[in-house]
Structure 1
Amino acid sequence: MKSFRLPVLFTIFLTLSLFSCQPKGDKAPGSKYFSDWPEGASPEEVGKKLSENFLARKFHFQEGRFGRLVYPEVCAWYGALEVAHLTDDAALREKLIRHYDLFLTPEGSKYIVERAHVDYRVAGVVPLEIYIQTKDEKYLNDGIRWADAQWDEPTEDGITKEARYWVDDIYMISSLQVEAYRATGELKYLERAALTTATYLDKLQEPNGLFHHAEDSPFFWGRGNGWYAAGMAELLSELPEDNQYYDRVMSGYLTMMESLLKYQSEEGLWRQLVDKEESWLETSGTGMFAFAMVTGVKNGWLEADVYGPAARKAWLALVSRIDEEGNVQDVCVGTNKAFKEVGPDLDKQLEFYIGRDRDTGDLHGQAPVLWTAMALLK
């Protein structure tokens, strides 16, 4: 009897142990909203399609535009690298890494601008992400210098002198400093991002949770708000709860997410000006809001049964705006703050934002769709 019972009990114990160790992805917050995608709408498929679209492009400077690596290229590249990693697509990942070889040469390095500006410093995100995935020191050395240079001669309140107090800034600063933390484990990088994000919250966030483009351009521009939402989501993904700025940043994030729920269209997209019904439905801001919501649901910051459906609706609406070549449609073109373009007259500023051109395939739109795919895959 003993020789029969022991193996049976052992088998039962082993079976239960193996079962308890199985991945619990189907029990993760919001999982019921982030699965069972229609054909062609899974984050794996969409992420691969947009990553290949990115690789097929020349850099803008190779086409005679801008003369440098620009931040939309960096942002899309980062998303593609994460998608390749999360889908365990070694071939795609290798292509994306080799894409950076040009900038490790004396000639190619000239196209990364040595200038104290958030839009240029963010270039460090790509080599830092490559280092995180490969542990090749040359990428760490190439990326960390940008994160450290961003804090050369900080202001009296301890933030980067590159701060302009435009809502766009926070993603550029947070993404770089958070990637530096992920690469090195040094808390000073998180502290920098957290301090800056909290400072901007106190200065720019309105009572409804949204952000004007800048103090002299008081409109809730979609992508501008998207930059802030995405920057907070990246920061909160790493920021310890005992950090002195955690509660301030989390409060700002939650207030913003609650407000965004009220303005999402029936189709699932948000508008060029978030609170203006007469404004057109726009994809880059939507992609950033979707990324922030998916990240929040998966981390348990947001109520899954409230924000999960909103994020799913946004994702499916975005997928419906992607053409056969992997180009995202209805992307607002690059946009300066209205004050700089049309002056202080608020009627003219309103016309300026609503009248911005819509583009297809603009990397301002490709990048946040890749980030949302990345968030869904985590």
Structure 2
Amino acid sequence: MKNNKQQSFISVIVMCFMVFTSCKMVSQEPANKEIIISKNAKWSDKMALTLMKRHEKSYMIDDSKAPKWDYVHGLVLHAIEELNKVNPDPRYVAYVRDYVDTLVQEDGTIKTYELDKYNIDMVVAGRLLFAIYETSKEEKYLKALQLLRKQLTEQPRTNSGGFWHKQIYPNQMWLDGLYMGEPFYAQYTVTFEDGKNLVDVAKQFEQIQLHATDPKTGLLYHGWDESKAMPWADKVTGNSPNFWSRALGWYAMALVDALDYFPKDHPKQKELVKYLNNVSEALAKYQDKSGLWYQVTDKGGKEGNYLEASGSSMFAYAFAKGANKGYLPSKYKKLANKAFDGLTTKLITKVDADGGITLTQACQVAGLGGKPYRDGSYEYYVNERKKDNDPKATGPFILAALELNR
């Protein structure tokens, strides 16, 4: 009898534990399972909803395990912010806001952000703060904006006035850095400083254009070392050895986005439009018949090279926006549509059962110098790992889809 009572008691305990754990499991299931991705939705919505479904919290973009202030989140969430302007959806607003509120503290400091590293990559996510501050008027967002502006005030510069890419990369400008710093800088100076520093914004483009442009192809090299001290730097020009499509994509996107803040009568506006035309004309020559561009831009037929998603998405966006804004001739809209056709037919090769889409053939990461050392060689770029739905591809893909109304 005693044994039976004990067994009954143990059974009840076990059942209670099972109920508790099953309830706990149910409560931890992502709410994003409820997201429906219609096959008739536009590509911009399909991609945004796919990312939101795969990454329950916005800080999880790029498979991040913990919240961090980072450029990839800034890029994708900026794209979703732009999407919300065209197709308003409270889920988009909440997704962007959740990232900002997870990282921006009440005193305006930003979790994981370290000012003294002077890493220009960390500025771009600040673009998300403008609209949130404008609608909420909460001081913490203004303080966070001012903190990022302080970085640009103190950012080390080349002797000729260009921002170093990072404190650990002295005397170096990378094409990537133009996107990371200039659209934020332009928007900040127009919003809070009556545009007084637009000349300095233009100076960044002037410096990279002057030093990193190849006179033969019109393309720009990934990096320029003013000191010529880096082993990857050409001893005469200081440039890295190759043209990387994503770096060129960052540059083209930086131009079309920074130009949003330059009045037509600003003395530097025409200059930036000219740079955009120059790089677009050079890039158009290397567009593959598929509509896409290769990882190493000018070496399409070479062994190991591949049609790459992020650079192709960035060019599609820059060409489309440039044409829509009147900066570029209308033919670039056709080239952008051709590129987008290539992305959707060649690189989105399957649709998941839940309607989610996957953009393939995206280079995950590439840089210069550092540890382990990256030499900027052809072999280096084509052998860097790839990642499906890498945010450096998905963000520009959403932006391109919006500009093309696809």
Residue pairs, 1:143-158, within 5 angstroms: 143-152=145-154, 155=157, 157-158=160-161
Amino acid of the residue matched to residue 170 of structure 1? L
The alignment partner of 2:175 has SS state of: coil
Distance 1:336 1:195 in 2: 23
Pick aligned residue for 2:223 from 214, 223, 238: 214
Residue pairs, 1:190-205, within 5 angstroms: 190-205=198-213
Amino acid of the residue matched to residue 310 of structure 1? L
Instruction: Provide the residue aligned with 1:177 in structure 2.
Output: 185
The alignment partner of 1:187 has SS state of: coil
Contact 2:44 2:398 in 1 (8 A): no
Deviation at 1:195, TM superposition (A): 1.5
Higher relative contact order (CA 8 A, sep 6+): 1
The alignment partner of 2:242 has SS state of: coil
Contact 1:72 1:363 in 2 (8 A): yes
Pair 1:109–1:137, CA change in 2 (3 A):
closer
Contact 1:47 1:80 in 2 (8 A): no
- Count of aligned positions: 336
Instruction: Provide the residue aligned with 2:79 in structure 1.
Output: 79
Pair 1:303–1:72, CA change in 2 (3 A):
same
Contact 2:69 2:110 in 1 (8 A): no
Amino acid of the residue matched to residue 383 of structure 2? G
Larger Rg: 2
The alignment partner of 2:288 has SS state of: coil
Residue pairs, 1:41-80, within 5 angstroms: 42-46=42-46, 48-50=48-50, 52-53=52-53, 56-57=56-57, 59=59, 68-80=68-80
Instruction: Provide the residue aligned with 1:298 in structure 2.
Output: 324
Instruction: Provide the residue aligned with 2:310 in structure 1.
Output: 284
Deviation at 1:58, TM superposition (A): 5.9
> Superposition RMSD on alpha carbons, in Å?
3.1
Deviation at 1:59, TM superposition (A): 2.9
Amino acid of the residue matched to residue 361 of structure 2? D
Instruction: Provide the residue aligned with 1:272 in structure 2.
Output: 295
Deviation at 1:111, TM superposition (A): 2.0
| Structure 1: segments with no counterpart, 5+ residues | 1-38
Pair 1:273–1:158, CA change in 2 (3 A):
closer
Distance 2:134 2:50 in 1: 22
Distance 1:197 1:343 in 2: 25
The alignment partner of 2:328 has SS state of: coil
The alignment partner of 2:173 has SS state of: coil
Query: Are 1:373 and 2:406 counterparts?
Result: no
Pair 1:232–1:359, CA change in 2 (3 A):
same
Instruction: Provide the residue aligned with 1:166 in structure 2.
Output: 174
Pair 1:265–1:159, CA change in 2 (3 A):
closer
Distance 2:66 2:257 in 1: 28
Instruction: Provide the residue aligned with 2:278 in structure 1.
Output: 255
Distance 1:212 1:161 in 2: 16
Distance 2:188 2:299 in 1: 37
Distance 2:54 2:342 in 1: 21
Contact 2:69 2:113 in 1 (8 A): yes
Pair 1:123–1:99, CA change in 2 (3 A):
closer
Contact 1:167 1:224 in 2 (8 A): yes
Q: Deviations over 1:11-39 (max 9, x none)?
A: xxxxxxxxxxxxxxxxxxxxxxxxxxxx7
Contact 2:365 2:385 in 1 (8 A): no
- What TM-score do you get using the length of structure 1 for normalisation? 0.78
Amino acid of the residue matched to residue 97 of structure 2? I
Pick aligned residue for 2:253 from 230, 249, 273: 230
The alignment partner of 1:165 has SS state of: strand
Deviates further, 167-176 or 183-192: 183-192
Contact 1:151 1:159 in 2 (8 A): no
